[in-house]
């Protein structure tokens, strides 16, 4: 039984550390066939543990576009996908890579930091709290550009330059995670998903994205994963950003692909174990659909290109920007006005409806509107 002073310390630490924090992948774990985390966890490139003396959010968060950029909707072709400390396949002391086999299920865990349980703190954000993507490749580049990967690589491997694939696309909110706070969402989830506070998560319940490594991942080599969280602000909602805001966070990491993972074998049932410890359990709905990349084929490339877009006219010598809705990656052309596509989507029983009156036409199709610059 954990002592009351330690429980109180963990609670206070959990509550204080997430003020104004953003999110990144903190830990990776192999998931056994019964949905339980097994083996030794792994960590991103250049990881700085929260227990380190030099830790701060800025040591691990990476924002695109950077806060110093005047145009907060603009993503440049030169923008790098990975933080400077994650450009190369280098691990820090005490933060080893995950070891997993081809075809293994893997959980990528991150903190919601109030973005899920206190949504009113960030006006204009999508109902699903943004969309998280995981891309995989055996051919990573130092200096990898975000527009060469995000919105370009597809689940069938034919998108972009063909070096990688889209492994997963899901809501940032996994439906279970929470930060301890007084909000009604947190209070409800604490009741529905109770767990024993521990030194890793504290009293919070971390979010996770469950993926499946390709069965073709080569044994004895590194397989690179790029985690991308699209968290846009809709135009016309937050007066600070009248034209909206592109806000993307990434984490770059590698997996040591090994011949076999002994933790996957033995007397482990093949079906998800109900009632298991939530501190080390996959999300049932995600675990059941590891081979499904929702709407991956509909993702539109968001990079500057000489090829005209089928949904937004190509304008020569214009500036391409990103505007990302809760379900779509959309190319935006900046001239005297800028355009975006938008649609009404239902996420977790909550309808997210774009502001403004939809244009006329078939209501089931994507609508395109003009927003004045």
Is the separation of the CB atoms in 309 and 300 below 8 Å? yes
Is a pLDDT exceeding 80 seen at residue 113?
yes
Q: What is the pLDDT of residues 139-191, one digit of tens each?
A: 999 999 999 999 999 999 999 999 999 999 999 999 999 999 999 999 999 99
Q: Report which DSSP code applies to 280.
A: G
Task: Tell which residue, 169, 172, 188, has the closest CA to residue 128.
Answer: 172
- Helix or strand run (H / E) with residue 139: none
* Three-state secondary structure readout of 58-72: HHCCCEECCCCCCCC
Q: What is the pLDDT of residues 253-273, one digit of tens each?
A: 999 999 985 555 555 777 899
Is the separation of the CB atoms in 332 and 321 below 8 Å? yes
- The stretch 7-12 carries a mean pLDDT of 41
Q: What is the pLDDT of residues 201-223, one digit of tens each?
A: 999 999 999 999 999 999 999 99
pLDDT band at 2 (very low <50, low <70, confident <90, very high): very low
């Amino acid at each position: 039984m954990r002592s009351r002073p330690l429980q109180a310390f963990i609670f206070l630490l959990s509550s204080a550390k997430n003020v104004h924090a953003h999110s990144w992948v903190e830990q990776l774990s192999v998931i056994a066939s019964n949905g339980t985390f097994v083996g030794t966890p792994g960590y991103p490139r250049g990881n700085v543990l929260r227990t380190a003396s030099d830790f701060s959010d800025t040591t691990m968060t990476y924002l695109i576009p950077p806060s110093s950029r005047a145009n907060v909707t603009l993503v440049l072709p030169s923008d790098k996908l990975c933080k400077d400390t994650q450009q190369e396949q280098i691990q820090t002391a005490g933060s080893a890579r995950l070891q997993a086999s081809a075809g293994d299920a893997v959980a990528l865990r991150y903190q919601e930091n109030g973005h899920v349980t206190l949504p009113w703190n960030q006006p204009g954000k999508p109902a699903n709290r943004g969309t998280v993507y995981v891309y995989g490749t055996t051919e990573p580049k130092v200096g990898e550009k975000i527009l060469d990967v995000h919105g370009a690589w597809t689940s069938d491997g034919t998108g972009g330059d063909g070096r990688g694939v889209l492994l997963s696309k899901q809501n940032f909110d996994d439906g279970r995670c929470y930060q301890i706070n007084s909000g009604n969402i947190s209070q409800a989830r604490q009741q529905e998903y109770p767990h024993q506070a521990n030194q890793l998560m504290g009293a919070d319940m971390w979010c996770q994205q469950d993926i499946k490594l390709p069965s073709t991942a080569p044994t004895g080599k590194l397989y690179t994963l790029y985690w991308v969280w699209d968290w846009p602000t809709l135009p016309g909602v937050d007066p600070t950003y009248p034209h909206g805001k592109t806000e993307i966070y990434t984490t770059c990491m590698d997996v040591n692909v090994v011949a076999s993972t002994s933790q996957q074998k033995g007397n482990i049932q093949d079906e998800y174990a109900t009632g298991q410890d939530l501190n080390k359990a996959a999300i049932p709905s995600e675990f059941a659909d590891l081979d499904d990349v929702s709407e991956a084929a509909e993702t539109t490339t968001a990079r500057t290109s000489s090829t005209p877009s089928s949904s937004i006219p190509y304008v020569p010598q214009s500036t391409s920007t990103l505007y990302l809705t809760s379900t779509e990656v959309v190319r935006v052309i900046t001239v005297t006005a800028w355009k975006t596509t938008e649609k009404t989507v239902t996420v977790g029983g909550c309808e997210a409806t774009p502001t403004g009156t939809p244009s006329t036409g078939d209501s089931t199709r994507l609508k395109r509107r003009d927003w004045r610059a």
